[in-house]
């Protein structure tokens, strides 16, 4: 009975169904962890970094020209600017915006009270229970895109869900963007590693969405890291010019391992991240006022033993809460956190660290959450099982955020107390009958049966159940409909660009 | 090198050292999830349950006499009372109080901005990686008490850390209380299952602490469940009479599986739990005004497949946040949550569910957290590995609560930016050298090394590392000092009571 119910439910969930809501529309209040005095100290530090210390903008003369044209006296490549002016530029970015998906039911709203969950980005390795750990390849990449598309708790498919290492680096972005566009109809990101690759992504988005739609909407975004501390290289400034120049969105993320790329202090690292991202936001607004911008933050603590980054620890958890409040204060959409862990496999360590990391990410109000599912090994590895395990938990977070605590008349259940006496039970009462099917979120991968049933079912741990689940999902995959002419135009574009660009492995 | 460092650290942590602080002294602000309108609706429901529906107080004529003496017209055993009066009685309980440990450095403060973590309570089974799942026995019980005593992140040892099923039920409480008193010097609970067992616990506490100390302090507490819905039996009222009658503390906990012991609605179940616990608090204050009282809450969601309780789900997580706010509003110390899971083993499911459950428990401000470590299988099983795994995470939570985000001058690290250029690194700078050893919480059981080091070390998952750790801890156990005359007096008490009480298995 329990097994039949599970098979039925697995089959249902494996069908790509639009989730109840294509993104989180938060009703739960925000959690402000910083008092006014603390905020003022942090903002004073941000201003000091912007005005007195400054950031280097390197390797992109056009970026220097843009700063100078705006009246900044650039000292070699060091940009220092009045903090008030930087803040007034940041205020030109929208507090929230829509990224259009090719299926309009999947479009996401980023910023404000909205939150969007996307999978892991950038891992060179993949791991699954059958194949073990290995380099990512295009076959894995395609499977992972399909899973991100099918999973109702992922709102967005990101881009580099793993590195497809079997395709030349110079061609890789074309295949990746094409697969996100065709194997899924959820929103996704474009490439950033070189200006021409960013341009290819934007051009392909124009084919998919059409010029007019693209003129008026954000349909694609890039996600770039600064070179912390305090360095912005041309990868960032050129991606901003390509994406924002075309009215599209950009996510700029300082990645700070405290003690290495920032001081060994959470407060100082958070302030540094704010300063770096705000300078990039100001730059983006100089490129195009009103360009959608997501202020990123990726902060890690460190193991004393080896200097290795650690995840899910109290310091990055605290930084999620703090940066959430600071981002609301400056009025910019935020990317931070994710289901992060340093564990090599999908064991309890992975889950403890991922849950603490993601719980704080969701409560903090992160608007765009890359790495919300699938992350292992400090981001070096995408786990197939981890992807569906994490995503399973995201549905619970969405329910907390979307619904908070409902207190309508039906929720108060007064008629139930007329039916049920003290020490009685509510199992069959009218209120229970009316509400039980929707009362509780039941994750597909949690086994709550008693030990006897669980042992009868083979005593499978969550990894094994997750392995079965993603395989069942892939077995049920159906590609979302796509206009054939558009598909052909995209294929032609990819083929032409592959002819034009020499295959290179760097 | 990494292995040597780990061995050294394990040896250090295995020594019973007083933690940095014997309980959490929270600096992090509280998180208020309910708006005023929602609170008013919930409080109106609580008042309606108290005034119009009422609770049955059964099987204890003395309890009825106490209510009637206070002016309540009891209808058979149904007690309805003006909500204002019940609230005014609740206001007599202290907002915070100290439970004295026999080692004064281990005394805990419960209520207000203080939070106390204690292990699992009440599981009939135990599980460890070597011995598998089996009935609890006195040997396991003693080991678990030692581990709870030694672990720096547990502040309190609870009582029934597992059921010692090899000892007659009628004698069990004597051995349990004796072992908590002698194998540990942290605070603990007493027995409640029968009035005479509660009395034995209180009498033994008087031997340990002395009559005078006990007259002026809370040195022991009982923890009892109501029979939800809306039934309070003699186990509760007699425990209140014994513990509170002697000026000691009581924790009263409605256990509500929504849809069974309460309506299939989180809001209604939370209100019911408030009403039940507040009525018990009022009763306790009639027994002895000013008696330390902890308002308990244990709320679980349900699997649609089987009706089995589920843990770590969005509904109980939300209830933790809500009850935290309601308890602050009524001014009573709160017990809720814990590291709860329905998983049978220490896999990723166990960790995801435990972390979401405990993250919300700690943020919610729960003042006394039973089940903070060791819980498996919906509370049916104490896991040796799970105990040290969960406890490991508690240190991170304590750091978040105790320290929040420090923003002193040293935290802002301005001198580091004078030393380090853009794109440089902070690894060797003065600020890092001054602060790196205390900057980060490093849990003993998280492995953050790279995959090669981890594989060289045997590719051990967290369960295996936890197994090694608790064995190493037990190997290093040393009993805390105890006055020999007191120990003999306790032994004599236990021996005498065992002669007086017939051995019974119920």
Per-residue pLDDT of A384-396, as tens digits, reads 999 999 999 999 9
HSE value, Cβ hemisphere, 13 Å, CA-based, for A476: 20
Q: Is the pLDDT of residue B176 over 90?
A: yes
Residue with tokens 């689940």: A469
Report CA Rg, chain A: 23
CA B450 to chain CA centroid, nearest Å: 35
Which one of A317, A436, A451 has the shortest CB-CB distance to B264?
Answer: A436
pLDDT of res. A306? 86
What DSSP string describes B409-471?
Answer: HHHH-HHHHHH--TT---TTSHHHHHHHHHH----TT---S-HHHHHHTT---HHHHHHHHHH
Closest CA of chain A from B439, distance in Å = 6
Closest CA of chain B from A400, distance in Å = 6
Mean pLDDT, chain B, whole residue set: 95
Q: Is the pLDDT of residue B101 over 50?
A: yes
pLDDT of res. B506? 83
Q: Tens of pLDDT along A132-172?
A: 999 999 999 999 999 999 999 999 999 999 999 999 999 99
Burial environment of residue B380 by CB neighbours within 10 A (0 to 12, 13 to 18, 19 or more)? middle
Q: Tens of pLDDT along B328-344?
A: 999 999 999 999 999 99
3-state secondary structure A123-159: CCEEEECCCEEEECCHHHHHHHHHHHHHCCCCCCCCC
| Chain A residues touching residue B6 (CB < 8 angstroms) | 305
pLDDT of res. B7? 44
Residue with tokens 């819905």: B229
| Chain A residues touching residue B53 (CB < 8 angstroms) | 417
Which one of B31, B347, B445 has the shortest CB-CB distance to A463?
Answer: B347
Cα angle value A139/A144/A147 (rounded, 5°): 130
A72 close contact with B: CB closer than 8 A: no
Confidence of residue B100 (pLDDT cuts 50, 70, 90): very high
pLDDT of res. B23? 97
Residue with tokens 């000013």: B290
Provide the 3-class DSSP secondary structure of residue A217: coil
Region A255-262: mean pLDDT is: 96
pLDDT of res. B386? 98
Confidence of residue A400 (pLDDT cuts 50, 70, 90): very high
Cα Dmax for chain B: 80
Region B269-288: mean pLDDT is: 98
| Chain B residues touching residue A305 (CB < 8 angstroms) | 2, 5-6, 442, 448-449
A356 close contact with B: CB closer than 8 A: yes
Q: Do A263 and B416 touch (CB under 8 A)?
A: yes
pLDDT of res. A506? 83
Closest CA of chain B from A391, distance in Å = 12
Residue with the bigger pLDDT between A273 and B306: it is A273
pLDDT of res. B254? 98
Please choose, from the candidates A410, A435, A419, A431, the residue with its C-alpha nearest in 3D space to the C-alpha of residue B230. A419
pLDDT of res. A239? 98
Which one of B5, B347, B446 has the shortest CB-CB distance to A462?
Answer: B347
Give the number of A-B residue pairs with CB atoms closer than 8 Å: 398
Q: Tens of pLDDT along A325-350?
A: 999 999 999 999 999 999 999 999 99
Reading the block at residue A297, the tokens are 């933050």
Provide the 3-class DSSP secondary structure of residue B335: strand
pTM for the whole structure: 0.96
Q: Do A449 and B303 touch (CB under 8 A)?
A: yes
CA dist., res. A471 & res. A492, Å (int):
32
Give this complex's ipTM.
0.96
Helices A36-48 and A314-330: crossing angle in degrees, nearest 10, is: 80
Please choose, from the candidates B316, B354, B401, the residue with its C-alpha nearest in 3D space to the C-alpha of residue B31. B401
Confidence of residue B18 (pLDDT cuts 50, 70, 90): very low
Which one of B38, B41, B355 has the shortest CB-CB distance to A359?
Answer: B355
Q: Tens of pLDDT along A450-484?
A: 999 999 999 999 999 999 999 999 999 999 999 99
Provide the 3-class DSSP secondary structure of residue B408: coil
CA B20 to chain CA centroid, nearest Å: 19
**A312 preceded by a cis bond (ω within 30 of 0):** no
Tell me which of A407, A414, A438 to substitute to probe the interface with B (most B C-beta atoms closer than 10 Å).
A407
Count of positions (residues) in chain B? 506
Tell me which of A263, A340, A382, A398 to substitute to probe the interface with B (most B C-beta atoms closer than 10 Å).
A263
pLDDT of res. A9? 44
Does residue A289 come out as left (phi exceeding 0), alpha (psi in the -120 to 50 range) or beta?
Answer: beta
Which one of A31, A133, A258 has the shortest CB-CB distance to B451?
Answer: A133
Contacts of B224 (CB under 8 A, 6+ apart): B192, B235, B236, B239, B240, B250, B251, B252, B253
CA dist., res. B506 & res. B501, Å (int):
13
Mean pLDDT, chain A, whole residue set: 95
Q: Is the pLDDT of residue B353 over 70?
A: yes
Cα Dmax for chain A: 80
Reading the block at residue A363, the tokens are 């409560």
Which one of B344, B431, B459 has the shortest CB-CB distance to A454?
Answer: B344
Kindly report the number of other CB atoms within 10 A of residue B32's CB atom.
Answer: 17
Confidence of residue A319 (pLDDT cuts 50, 70, 90): very high
Q: Is the pLDDT of residue A173 over 70?
A: yes
Q: If contacts are CB pairs under 8 Å, which of residues 231-290 in chain B contact chain A?
A: 231, 258-268, 270-271
Evaluate whether A58 touches A231 at the Cβ level (below 8 Å).
yes
CA dist., res. A188 & res. A370, Å (int):
11
Q: Is the pLDDT of residue B412 over 60?
A: yes
Q: Do B35 and A29 touch (CB under 8 A)?
A: yes
Confidence of residue B12 (pLDDT cuts 50, 70, 90): very low
pLDDT of res. A124? 98
Confidence of residue B20 (pLDDT cuts 50, 70, 90): low
Rounded to the nearest 5°, which phi and psi values hold at A475? -65, -25
Q: If contacts are CB pairs under 8 Å, which of residues 136-175 in chain B contact chain A?
A: none
Q: How far is CA A59 from CA A51, A77, A238, A267, B233, in A?
A: 22, 9, 10, 30, 77
DSSP type of residue A88: H
Provide the 3-class DSSP secondary structure of residue A241: helix
Region A38-59: mean pLDDT is: 98
Q: Do B407 and A459 touch (CB under 8 A)?
A: no
Q: Is the pLDDT of residue B290 over 60?
A: yes
What DSSP string describes B104-158?
Answer: GGG-EEEETTEEEE------SEEEETTTEEEE--HHHHHHHHHHHHH-TT-----
Rounded to the nearest 5°, which phi and psi values hold at A445? -100, 0
Closest CA of chain B from A471, distance in Å = 19
CA dist., res. B337 & res. B363, Å (int):
11
pLDDT of res. B305? 80
Please choose, from the candidates B221, B275, B224, the residue with its C-alpha nearest in 3D space to the C-alpha of residue B98. B221
Which one of A342, A454, A463 has the shortest CB-CB distance to B446?
Answer: A342
Please choose, from the candidates A275, A270, A299, the residue with its C-alpha nearest in 3D space to the C-alpha of residue A46. A275
Q: Is the pLDDT of residue A241 over 50?
A: yes
Confidence of residue B249 (pLDDT cuts 50, 70, 90): very high
For residue B427, what is the nearest residue in chain A, using CA coordinates?
A: A260
Q: Do B462 and A348 touch (CB under 8 A)?
A: yes
A132 close contact with B: CB closer than 8 A: no
Closest CA of chain A from B226, distance in Å = 10
A443 close contact with B: CB closer than 8 A: yes
B212 sits in which H/E element:
helix B211-216
3-state secondary structure A325-387: HHHHHHCCCEEECCCCCCCCCCCHHHHHHHHHHHHHHHHHCCCEECCCCCEEHHHCEEEHHHH
Evaluate whether A286 touches A89 at the Cβ level (below 8 Å).
yes
Which one of B42, B426, B431 has the shortest CB-CB distance to A407?
Answer: B42
Closest CA of chain B from A50, distance in Å = 12
CA dist., res. A356 & res. B312, Å (int):
12
């Amino acid at each position: 009975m329990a097994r039949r119910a599970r098979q039925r439910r697995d089959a249902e969930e494996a069908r790509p169904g639009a989730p109840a809501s294509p993104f989180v529309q938060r009703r739960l209040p925000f959690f402000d962890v910083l008092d006014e005095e603390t905020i003022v100290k942090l903002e004073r530090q941000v201003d000091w970094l912007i005005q007195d210390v400054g950031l280097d903008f390197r390797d992109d003369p056009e970026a220097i020209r843009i700063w100078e044209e705006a009246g900044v006296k650039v000292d070699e490549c060091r940009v220092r600017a009045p903090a008030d002016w930087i803040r007034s530029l940041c205020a030109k970015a929208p507090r929230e915006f829509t990224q259009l998906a090719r299926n309009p039911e999947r479009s996401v709203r980023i910023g404000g009270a909205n939150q969007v969950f996307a999978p892991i980005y950038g891992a060179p390795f993949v791991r699954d229970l059958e194949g073990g750990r290995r380099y990512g390849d295009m076959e894995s990449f395609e499977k992972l895109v399909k899973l991100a598309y099918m999973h109702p708790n992922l709102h967005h498919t990101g881009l580099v869900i793993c590195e497809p290492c079997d395709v030349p680096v110079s061609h890789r972005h074309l295949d990746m963007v094409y697969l996100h566009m065709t194997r899924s109809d959820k929103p996704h990101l474009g490439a950033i590693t070189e200006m021409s690759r960013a341009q290819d992504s934007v051009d392909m988005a124009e084919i998919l969405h059409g010029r007019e739609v693209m003129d008026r909407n954000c349909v694609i975004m890039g996600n770039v890291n600064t070179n912390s501390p305090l360095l912005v290289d041309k990868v960032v400034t050129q991606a901003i010019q390509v994406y924002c120049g075309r009215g599209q969105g950009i996510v700029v993320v300082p990645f700070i391992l405290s003690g290495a790329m920032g001081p060994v202090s959470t407060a100082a690292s958070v302030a540094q991240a704010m300063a770096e991202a705000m300078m990039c936001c100001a730059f983006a607004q100089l490129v195009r006022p009103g360009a959608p911008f997501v202020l990123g933050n990726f902060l890690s603590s460190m193991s004393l033993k080896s200097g290795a980054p650690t995840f899910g620890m109290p310091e990055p958890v605290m930084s999620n809460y703090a940066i959430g409040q600071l981002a609301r204060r400056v009025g910019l959409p935020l990317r931070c956190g994710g289901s992060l862990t340093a564990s090599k496999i999908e064991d309890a360590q992975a889950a403890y660290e991922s849950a603490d990391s993601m719980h704080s990410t969701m409560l903090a109000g992160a608007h765009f959450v890359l790495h919300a599912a699938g992350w292992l090994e400090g981001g070096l590895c995408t786990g197939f099982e981890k992807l569906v395990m994490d995503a399973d938990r995201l549905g619970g977070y969405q329910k907390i955020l979307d619904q908070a605590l409902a207190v309508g008349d039906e929720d108060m259940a007064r008629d139930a107390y007329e039916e049920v006496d003290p020490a009685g039970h509510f199992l069959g009462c009218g209120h229970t009958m009316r509400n039980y099917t929707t009362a509780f979120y039941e994750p597909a991968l949690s086994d709550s049966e008693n030990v006897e049933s669980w042992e009868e079912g083979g005593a499978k741990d969550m990894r094994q159940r997750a392995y079965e689940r993603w395989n069942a999902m892939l077995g049920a995959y159906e590609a979302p409909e796509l206009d054939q002419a558009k598909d052909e135009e995209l294929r032609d574009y990819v083929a032409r660009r592959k002819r034009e660009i020499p295959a290179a492995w760097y």
